[in-house]
Amino acid sequence: MHPNLTVVDHPLIQHKLTLMRRKETSTAQFRALLAEIALLLGYEAMRDLKLTEETIETPLMPMKAHKLEGKKLVLITIMRAGQGLVDGMLQLVPSARVGHVGLYRDPKTLQAVEYYYKVPQQLEDRDVIVCDPMLATGNSAIAALDRLKRSNPGSLRLVCLLACPEGIANLASAHPDVPIITAAVDEKLNDHGYILPGLGDAGDRLFGTK
Ligand code: URA
């Protein structure tokens, strides 16, 4: 497996993920659960962000206190389901900047095709967290990371909800330097590029489009 893979197997996350997987879970519940899990995954994904010190005054005395180093963090949503993860993470870092990468999967080749790209300036000074709920073939995440690396970001991480061995292997060979944070690694990919047992189409379930 990927040496940089972190599976966040906290009981709260696993419980919420089971609720999300159930086919009878409503769109409203799915959306709320994804935001809750995103917050918890984000907490783990941001564990090694660098800190700096500043002198502040408490009501009692001055002290040197920690704060996050550098420019504002960037959250990248891989449209469209990535939005669900970004919404949850924004509760943790409300001042984060948000970038959008639009990619669709060609249904025949399963390759990622870019149709939109708008990200914050000065990525070279920023930590960047790419949000893509389903690491299936890995093609979308790889394409997004390829594109982002052209701007030389300060650091890059990928947060997903579910991964599978095929997606992890593809990502590991294309971007061995990028840590992956996920809630679970499922069994395998089917012939249509869906994760099994998975949770179905994350975008459709999040937006109620099916
Ligand atoms: N995208 C999804 O939404 N679900 C999968 O299982 C794979 C890719």
Amino acid at 71: K
| CA-nearest residue, atom 4 of ligand 1 | 201
Q: Is 36 near ligand 1, meaning CB less than 6 Å away?
A: no
Sheet with 162-163, edge to edge strand ranges: 134-135, 162-163, 184-185
Is position 58 within any domain? no
Angle at 177 between CA 134 and CA 170, to 5 degrees: 45
C-beta of 162 in contact with ligand 1 (< 6 A): no
CATH of the domain at 77: 3.40.50.2020
User: Tens place of pLDDT for every residue, the chain, 210 residues?
Assistant: 678 899 999 999 999 999 999 999 999 999 999 999 999 999 999 999 999 999 999 999 999 999 999 889 999 999 989 999 999 999 999 999 999 999 887 878 878 889 999 999 999 999 999 999 999 999 999 999 999 999 999 999 999 999 999 999 999 999 999 999 999 999 999 999 999 999 999 999 999 998
CA of 172 to the centre of ligand 1 (A): 19
| Long-range contacts of the stretch 122-125 (C-beta < 8 A, 24+) | 122/71, 123/74, 123/148, 123/151, 123/152, 123/153, 123/154, 124/151, 124/152, 124/153, 124/154, 125/70, 125/71, 125/154
* 153 within domain boundaries: yes
Does 112 map to a domain? yes
pLDDT of residue 1: 65
Residue 64 in domain: no
Q: Are strands 62-68 and 51-57 parallel, antiparallel or unpaired?
A: antiparallel
Residue nearest to atom 7 of ligand 1 (CA): 194
Name the residue type at position 102: G
Report yes or no on 59 lying in a domain: no
What is the pTM assigned to this prediction?
Answer: 0.94
Give the rounded distance of the alpha carbon of 45 from its chain centre: 9
Spatial CA neighbour of 199 closest among 142, 131, 136:
136
Q: Is residue 84 part of a domain?
A: yes
How many independent structural domains does the chain possess? 1
- Tell me if 159 is assigned to some domain: yes
Task: Note whether residue 173 is domain-resident.
Answer: yes
Tell me which residue range forms the domain holding 175.
5-51+69-207
CB–CB of 164/144 below 8 Å?
A: no
**For residue 111, what pLDDT is reported?**
80
CA–centroid distance, 210 to ligand 1, in Å, is 14
Q: What is the pLDDT of residue 45?
A: 96
